[in-house]
Structure 1
Amino acid sequence: MFAILLTVSMFSQGFTMVSYGKSFITAFPEDLGYFYPNTSSSLRVTALIDGTSVNIFYNGNSTPTQTISNILKGRTVTVVFPKSAEVYQLNYSTQSIRITSNKYIVVHSVSSTALTINAISAQTNVVQPEENLGMNYLIPSLNYTNFLTTFGISQSTKYNSFRLIIINAEDTENNITIVKNISDKIQLVNFTIPSFQLIQLQADDSMMMVNSSCKIAVLLTHPCLDKKNCTCSMIVNQILPVRFQGQNFVVPHVPDITQRQLVMTSNDNADLLSQDNTPLISSSSGYLSLPDLNTRYVTALSNVSLRLIIPGLFIELIPENQFAACYMLPFYSDNRWAVVITKTDSRDQVRIGTSQLINPDWYDIPYTQYSKVRISLQSPMNIIWHPSSKIVVYIVESIGNTVYGGPAIPINEQPDPNGCMPPGEFVVGDQPLKWTESLAYCTKPEREFACPINKNLQIEFARQVNTTNVEGWIGLRRSLMTTAWYWQTSTTSASSSVDYVHWANGQPQDKKFELCASLSLNRTDDFKWKSAKCCEKKLPVCYKQPKILPLLTMTSTVYIP
């Protein structure tokens, strides 16, 4: 047992998360909310860069089921799937949905049903890009009987357990291990999942973790979670890998909710959660109650995952170490709010689109540096950002007596006073050139020689560039007079001084005739730099400066047959 937990803890260091990417995989869980109504399942795909093309792979097809071309920046396309897209059977299935693109996009998922305005099931979630997936996941301990007892609900459906959907995110066979604790004895369940396929399992409080040999996406779901008044709602929660855990959380107040509990998942079940230095004591069912419905700050002794559990709604809470600076908010109903949490001393700087948020109803969160506000939004597509501080934003909606929502989509990790700035675009030329020729090739309007002047830009380069076995020129060279390295760029976006380096072992060579710098375009070499003769021919690496994300607009709807 100790060895298993130790393995997981190695991957538990916090990472800041953004939710854009070029490759996504997901599935639509079975939705039987309010007893077998008609359902609607769709994805919203938003382009962050002009000229974006998107491919949709559905139901095990190796060729795209649908291709959407030339989406402009800030435009959103809705992709609607048939009822048959829902994963209704336990066992293996080819019903995964893959989304790939040539440039950065974000993907948001919605499932809903409606017979009458008061009989609706609705769930939304951020589909995480491949970069945010992992191989180690902790599963929350959820017993359905305990859930009903905790919230004083009488069972009205026959679905008495939660479900776990595990999706193989890679084009190779994936070895999966389910770790269970049954009567204080560890049991391992091993199986494999073929390329891009999935398996749906019944989930209970014996499941502890899922480990895999390749990246997977993991969805916690229930087809018809009982609520009061003899209704039910489908639940879907995309579980994040253990590396996205944290120790400090701001638990938001969800409008129109009168009951809520917390569920903590950690490597060590003995981890203590506290609010305002007062321990939160879990019930016999493992739920943790907060003393009131106000927004509260809770802390753990080590890295944990935390969920806010409400009848009909699970919200994965974002730890403080993963707050971001800019969020996209897609909405689906007319009753829509954002819950914004920011530092108290800079709360007057929060922006909605191009306008400053002017709201007198800020609430100071006790014993913290944070304040929160609930705001009603007019537009179904919004951007909320902060120019100088990290924030966290949650989406809340309601239709009839159904409340749904979750975290907004983080776009910018670091604050930028210019606005909500999606990443710039690295472009590698297709013809080898000398260094000076590469400089001329890259020096064009809105483009420059690539200058990875800091770690974030180097990481962004690694995320964007397709790996090859050749080398590329970057805008780094030596002075003929002093042999000191400096950045040479056609704009003022980069400083000439070199404060960050990513040299390969033994580099740079101490040779006066190796005056220019190249980098490996091979991922296995970690895109390391080395010195080289400027007259050698290598592929030019250019950089398109990021532009402010404009106001978001809906453009079209595509139907998958």
Structure 2
Amino acid sequence: MFAILLTVSMFSQGSTMVSYGKSFITAFPENLGYFYPNTSNRLRVTALLDGTSVNIFYNGNSTPTQTITHILKGEIVTVVFPKSAEVYQLNYSTQSIRITSNKYIAVHSVSSTNFTINVISAQTNVVQPNENLGMNYLIPSLNYTTFLTTFGITQSAPWSTRYDSFRLIIINAEDTENNITIVKNISDKIQLVNFTIPSYQLIQLQADDSMMMVNSSSKIAVLLTHPCLDKPGCTCSMIVNQILPVRFQGQKFVVPHVRDITQRQLVMTSNDNSDLLSQDNTPLTSSSSGYLSLPDLNTRYVTASSNVSLKLIIPGLFIELIPENQFAACYMLPFYSNNQWAVVIAKTGSRDKVRTDPLVNPNWSELFHTPYSQAEISLSNQMNIIWHPSSKIVVYVVEKFNNIIFGGPAIPIKENPDSSGCMTPVEFVVGEKPLKWTESLAYCTTSQIQFACPTDEDVQIEFAKQVNTTNVEGWIGLRRSLMTTAWYWQTNTTSESSSVNYVYWADGQPQDKKFELCASLSLNQTDDFKWKSAKCCEKKLPVCYQQRKILPPLTMTSTVYIP
């Protein structure tokens, strides 16, 4: 048995955001008012590796409300929550939902009225893993009355002040009391609102155009919501937008064209009020409400003067736009209705290499004066994968049921392109017992995995992202030749593997001693996981890993109900 199982994410600050992890926290905002009885709240949990176990913690429970075991990679489990899971009160609440797992998973959320009867309101949301959460968030300046005026909408429910503002749900993602500061600008004066949130609890606040920023002492999740956002035709629809931390901002965005949309605006948030957004070197002028209009409904390539966040605002739908520096190579697409499509944006020169499962030949539309093209791909399956073998792309999912349009970004699960396809994460395993180097090699190969070989910087970085044990060292598959003393990689018990093109030695390493023929690395983050030479007979923890494998077709397997 393995004592420590370590699956390394591809996420780090400054790199592309992938949306899988082993720990998540979220909530279900109110949908169409507390009086509406026929709403459905679900999470889809997708396993990326075999042997996955998942725990669901609900309504403040310190022990799992539900445990799901033996999930295979590519399998999807639907977790259904009761109506009482919706957060409708303005104040503190224990209604957060935590999801933890032993291996990497992706989580997608949907709130809707019953699809089998009559969808009046629906909204989906990628639940971000805790690795993607932060302590600094910028809040878009949104006034509900101004929103209605901008889109020429008459408020359908003037009888209720309950729905005359947006809402902000702040969830404490840590098992400790979290100190929160909300920065407001009221009549050009900065005001600070301070409070605390207990472990894993949340608070729901009314959000208006005075809110600028939320800061915290530890990680939080922030949801911008509205239970019944007015739309033309005396209808309304719920919105859910998980705001991303400031480190995921960017300067260049491709604003997609969304079918059947006749109105749209942009909302930009940044640290600097002087930031400008432009298209083809022409600044986009904001209205007094702060909304930015594009000249038409076509796909547009826009650039900000510094790093910003950008939202595409449509009546009944907010879409968080993914900046160019956050594009990825592979996406998971969850759908819930029968009228669904993907909006794919890829570089024009390699757009025909975009792959779907099953393969679909899209009709591309070139975005002039940019390197990109857009295509709408109609897909029939409820779960799909879109990937590119050599370039990064961005994918949004859109659905339409009757006159309800909902969707948002797809789930990015692979940062860098791979010609083999959409790959599962690398899985590292650290043995529980110190062994000699040769014993460690046998330990890894006997377990049908291989000696960890950080043959390039990407693998070394992946290893370093989550491994942080006590002050111990581990063996890797690097050693010296007895004949030439040259270093080489050995991944099995019978042969020398590839030559060494990448090294990460500590200062003064390797020692120029013929009896130090093997290599180890520190398992302590404070030592920066540097390598050093060592005697092969010394005992250290074996470090093994499972290489990436092609992610199989996704399959819906079971449904679990939370009481």
Question: Given the alignment of the two structures, is residue 67 of structure 1 paired with residue 67 of structure 2, yes or no?
Answer: yes
After superposition, the Cα gap between the structure-2 partners of 1:351 and 1:302, relative to the gap in structure 1 and judged at 3 Å, is same
Correspondence list, 1:47-196, <5 A: 47-114=47-114, 120-157=120-157, 158=160, 159-196=163-200
Worse overlay, 160-169 or 487-496: 487-496
Deviation at 1:514, TM superposition (A): 2.9
Check conservation: 2:457, 2:502, Cα contact below 8 A: no
Are the aligned partners of 2:488 and 2:496 in contact in 1 as well (CA < 8 Å)?
no
- Report the Cα offset of residue 162 of structure 1: 0.9
Match for residue 288 of structure 1 among 271, 281, 292: 292
Q: Does 1:345 align with 2:346?
A: no
Cα 1:488–1:214 change in 2 (3 A) is same
- 2:499 aligned partner: 496
With 25-34 and 95-104 compared, the bigger mean Cα shift is at 25-34
Q: Structure 1 residues 257, 210: closer, same or farther in 2, change over 3 A?
A: same
1:334-381 Cα distance to aligned partner (Å, 9 max, x none): 0000011111111111111263x423x210001111111101111111
Letter matched to residue 557 of structure 1: T
Q: Distance in 1 between matches of 2:124 and 2:497?
A: 40
**C-alpha separation in 1, matches of 2:325 and 2:474:** 34
How do 1:370-389 residues align onto structure 2 when only pairs under 5 Å count?
370-389=372-391
CA deviation map 1:205-259 (0-9, x unaligned): 1111111111111111111111112111111100111110000000011111100
- Provide Cα deviations, 1:19-51, integer angstroms capped at 9, x if missing partner: 111111111111126972421111000001111
Look up the match of 2:414: 412
User: Structure 1 residues 448 and 281, CA, compared in 2 at 3 Å: closer, same or farther?
Assistant: same
**Is the counterpart of residue 262 in structure 1 residue 278 in structure 2?**
no
Mapped to 2, the partners of 1:118 and 1:559 lie a distance apart of 22
2:138, 2:246 within 8 Å by CA — same for their partners in 1?
yes
For residue 243 of structure 1, the aligned residue among 230, 247, 257 is: 247
- Evaluate the alpha carbon distance shift between residue 166 and residue 525 of structure 1 in structure 2; reply closer, same or farther with a 3 A threshold: farther
Identity of aligned residues (%): 83
CA contact (8 A) 1:35 1:224 kept: no
Q: Which residue does 2:6 correspond to in 1?
A: none
Partner Cα distance (1:383, 1:527) in 2:
34
Say if 2:489 and 2:496, in contact at 8 Å, map to a contact too: no
Q: Distance in 2 between matches of 1:347 and 1:154?
A: 42
| CA distances 1:302-329 after superposition (whole Å, capped 9, x unpaired) | 1000000001100000001111111000
The aligned counterpart of 2:361 is: 358
> Residue 312 of structure 2: which of 308, 311, 325 is its match?
308
Partner Cα separation in structure 1 for residue 259 and residue 380 of structure 2: 17
Q: Match for 1:202 among 206, 223, 227? A: 206
Paired with 1:273 and 1:353, the residues of 2 have a C-alpha distance of: 36
Note if contact 2:467-2:524 (Cα within 8 Å) is conserved in structure 1.
no
Offset, 1:116: 9.3
More divergent stretch after superposition (436-445 vs 58-67): 436-445
Gaps of 5+ in 2: 1-11
Paired with 2:256 and 2:452, the residues of 1 have a C-alpha distance of 41
Cα pair distance change 1:197/1:341, threshold 3 Å: same
> 1:34, 1:233 within 8 Å by CA — same for their partners in 2?
no
- Name which of structure 1's ranges 401-410 and 203-212 shifts more when overlaid on structure 2: 203-212
Residue 529 of structure 1 and its aligned partner are, at CA, apart by 2.9
Structure 1 residue identity aligned to 2:86: E
Deviation string 1:248-286 (CA, Å, 9 cap, x unpaired) is 000011111100000001111211101122110000100
Instruction: Give 1:431's match in structure 2, choosing from 409, 430, 433.
Output: 433
CA contact (8 A) 1:33 1:225 kept: no
Aligned AA (1:105): I
- Secondary structure at 2:120 match in 1: strand
Q: Distance in 2 between matches of 1:524 and 1:408?
A: 35
Q: Distance in 1 between matches of 2:372 and 2:516?
A: 52
- Label 1:507 to 1:217 Cα distance change in 2 as closer, same or farther (>3 A): farther
Cα distance in 1, alignment partners of residues 502 and 34 from structure 2: 59
Provide the aligned length of Structure 1 versus Structure 2: 547
Aligned Cα root-mean-square deviation (Å): 2.1
CA distance in 2, matches of 1:308, 1:290: 11
User: What one-letter code is carried by the residue in structure 2 that aligns with 1:438?
Assistant: S
**Residue identity in the other structure for 1:88:** Y
Find out whether 1:535 has 2:537 as its counterpart. Answer: yes
Contact 2:184/2:210 (CA < 8 Å) preserved in 1? yes
Aligned counterpart, 1:21: 21
Q: Distance in 1 between matches of 2:416 and 2:236?
A: 40
TM-score for both structures, normalised by structure 2 = 0.93
1:108 offset after TM fit, Å? 0.3
Deviations 1:480-504 (CA, angstroms, capped at 9, x unpaired)? 4555443322399984213241x44
- Cα separation, 2, equivalents of 1:518 and 1:257: 58
Match of 2:558 in 1: 556
Instruction: Give yes or no for contact 1:273–1:280 (8 Å, CA) kept in 2.
Output: yes
Residues of 1 paired with 2:278 and 2:253: CA distance?
Answer: 10
> SS in structure 2 opposite 1:90?
coil
